[in-house]
């Protein structure tokens, strides 16, 4: 188990190092010079502190921080602008709310993301603690839109929604009234819609700098592979004092084939998915063993023809190397349906019922794979040990497995 986890951590570290994707864009330095380049798109969940770019796709990587870059843009949808703004530090957690309605402002120079461009611009700043929105009119100063929860005297929660009054006072146009603003919540979708409506009303020009919302995607793959399997039946002395069935079966290579159902989740560029993969797997082996009881010592032969339906249910993460090439890591819980009744011992004279019944426990799998052209895949897998004699108190049927699986997506 320990070695399996160590291997998985190594593979995980390798995949994180390998995940590099540079996309066309530009950087504007502090002198106003525009540099066309390829920017490393890290799909930032929080606002970035620096940007990495290359002048050519395969040239040396340049790292620039907020002291040397005034803005940068990736494609037509991701734009960050350097700005010194008043950021409200107030917590929204119930246990940390203050009893003051006024924001706790702190001046910070940060990269803020431009969401809407036009006569009125909307920006967002996100950290681990909070998300704040800002606005800018006609190239003027970037100002905060204020929203804050706080405690009042009777220990109930009130909300400072000054952002609505700010929008009403500064962004007047036909069709925009107090009733309209009551429907605008302090979230990205509502604010983007409001700023877009305002820009179209004022000048007819508007640009929403947001990527198209992702939709979930469903994939079906056929899978086939080979596994290196081994079984070790171990005696754990308890109420029974005699070891009658311990056996170390040799490693054998066995086939596996199945069908994978995968659902890509509609966020983070479809890099995350859940999968279900019913798989048939078999392991056949035999071994000569030494049997001891109270009166005699003799040789016996143990045989296993282990057939099982494995049902991994797990999580997958993709990391793109190029438009046609990506690597992925898996982690899954493996449930089982046994198709084999028992381990067969040749000499039944040792006990009334010398053939232990097979009942497999669940286990875990970890995998590292590569997919090409969104169609063909190859994956290295390792499994934690599975007890196939889980109904026995004094015996542990430790089944270990690792192998390679090929896949073909047809839907």
Mean pLDDT for 103-123 is 95
Neighbours of 60 (CB within 10 A): 7
Q: How far apart are CA 251 and CA 231, in angstroms?
A: 8
- Is the pLDDT at 62 greater than 70? The verdict is yes
Cα dihedral sign, 266-270-275-280: positive
For residue 178, the surrounding DSSP H or E stretch is helix 178-182
Mean pLDDT for 3-30 is 65
Residue, of 355 and 261, whose pLDDT is higher: 261
Q: How confident is the model at residue 291 (pLDDT cuts 50, 70, 90)?
A: low
Sort residue 30 into left (φ over 0), alpha (ψ -120 to 50) or beta: alpha
Q: Quote the pLDDT of residue 101.
A: 93
339 in Cβ contact with 309 (< 8 Å): yes
Q: How confident is the model at residue 133 (pLDDT cuts 50, 70, 90)?
A: very high
Distance of CA 257 to the CA centre of its chain: 26
- Is the pLDDT at 63 greater than 60? The verdict is yes
Which of 260-269, 277-286, 314-323, 349-358 comes out lowest in average pLDDT?
A: 349-358
Q: How far apart are CA 402 and CA 294, in angstroms?
A: 39
Q: Quote the pLDDT of residue 213.
A: 61
Q: How confident is the model at residue 18 (pLDDT cuts 50, 70, 90)?
A: very low
pLDDT digits (tens, 9 = 90+) for 137-150: 999 999 999 999 99
**CB proximity list for 163: less than 8 A, separation 6 or greater:** 133, 145, 146, 147, 186
DSSP-assigned states of every residue in 248-309: EPPPEEEEEEEEEEEEE-SSGGGTEEEEE--EEEEEEEEEEEEEE-SS-EEEEEEEEEEEEE
Top-level CATH class of 217-409? mainly beta
Phi, psi values for residue 18, rounded to 5°: -80, -15
Which of 17-26, 75-84, 173-182, 397-406 comes out lowest in average pLDDT?
A: 17-26
In the block, which residue shows the tokens 């392991």? 283
Q: How far apart are CA 100 and CA 124, in angstroms?
A: 24
Domains of the chain, residue spans: 76-208, 217-409
144 in Cβ contact with 157 (< 8 Å): no
pLDDT digits (tens, 9 = 90+) for 356-400: 899 999 999 999 999 999 999 999 999 999 999 998 888 889 999
Mean pLDDT for 270-282 is 94
Give a three-class secondary structure readout of 325-357. Answer: EEEEEEEEEEEEEECCCECEECCCCCCCCCCCE
Q: How far apart are CA 78 and CA 210, in angstroms?
A: 7
For residue 187, give the DSSP letter: S
Cα dihedral sign, 270-275-280-282: positive
Of 120, 147, 126, 124, nearest in space to 134 by CA: 124
Mean pLDDT for 303-332 is 92
Of 265, 157, 160, 289, nearest in space to 217 by CA: 265
- Is the pLDDT at 59 greater than 70? The verdict is yes
Q: How far apart are CA 240 and CA 226, in angstroms?
A: 38
- Is the pLDDT at 292 greater than 90? The verdict is no
274 in Cβ contact with 328 (< 8 Å): no
- Is the pLDDT at 260 greater than 90? The verdict is yes
Q: Is 395 helix (H, G, I), strand (E, B) or coil?
A: strand
Distances, alpha carbon 158 to alpha carbons 91, 132, 151, 181, in Å? 14, 18, 6, 18
Q: Quote the pLDDT of residue 215.
A: 72
């Amino acid at each position: 188990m320990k070695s399996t986890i160590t291997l998985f951590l190594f593979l995980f570290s390798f995949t994180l190092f390998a995940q590099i994707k540079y996309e066309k864009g530009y950087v504007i330095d502090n002198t106003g010079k525009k540099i066309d380049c390829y920017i490393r798109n890290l799909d930032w969940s929080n606002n970035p502190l620096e940007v990495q770019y290359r002048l050519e796709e395969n040239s040396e990587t340049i790292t620039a921080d907020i002291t040397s870059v005034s803005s940068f843009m990736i494609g037509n949808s991701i734009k960050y602008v350097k700005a010194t703004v008043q950021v409200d530090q107030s917590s929204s957690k119930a246990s940390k709310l203050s009893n003051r309605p006024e924001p706790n402002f702190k001046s910070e120079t940060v990269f803020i993301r431009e969401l809407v461009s036009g006569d009125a611009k909307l920006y967002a700043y996100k950290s681990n603690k909070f998300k704040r929105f800002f606005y800018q009119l006609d190239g003027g100063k970037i100002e905060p839109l204020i929203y804050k929860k706080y405690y009042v005297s009777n220990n109930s929660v009130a909300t400072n929604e000054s952002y609505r009054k700010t929008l009403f006072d500064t962004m007047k146009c036909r069709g925009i009234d107090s009733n309209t603003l009551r429907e605008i919540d302090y979230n990205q979708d509502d604010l983007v819609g409001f700023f877009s409506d305002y820009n179209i009303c004022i000048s007819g020009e508007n640009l929403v700098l947001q990527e198209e919302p992702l939709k979930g995607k469903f994939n079906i793959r056929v899978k086939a592979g080979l596994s290196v399997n081994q079984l070790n039946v171990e005696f754990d002395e308890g109420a029974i004092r005699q070891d009658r069935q311990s056996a170390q079966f040799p490693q054998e290579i066995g086939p596996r084939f199945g069908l994978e159902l995968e659902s890509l989740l509609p966020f983070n560029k479809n890099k995350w998915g859940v999968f279900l993969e019913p798989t048939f797997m078999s392991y056949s082996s035999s071994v000569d063993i030494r049997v001891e009881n109270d009166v005699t010592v003799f040789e016996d032969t143990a045989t296993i023809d282990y057939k099982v339906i494995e049902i991994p249910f797990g999580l997958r993460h993709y990391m793109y190397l190029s438009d046609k090439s990506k690597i992925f890591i898996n982690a899954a819980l493996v449930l089982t349906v046994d198709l084999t009744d028992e381990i067969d011992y040749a000499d039944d004279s040792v006990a009334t019922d010398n053939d232990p019944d097979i009942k497999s426990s669940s286990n875990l799998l970890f995998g590292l794979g590569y997919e090409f052209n969104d169609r063909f895949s190859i994956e290295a897998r390792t499994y934690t040990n599975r007890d196939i004699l889980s109904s026995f108190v004094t015996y542990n049927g430790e089944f270990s497995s690792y192998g390679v699986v090929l896949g073909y997506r047809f839907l």
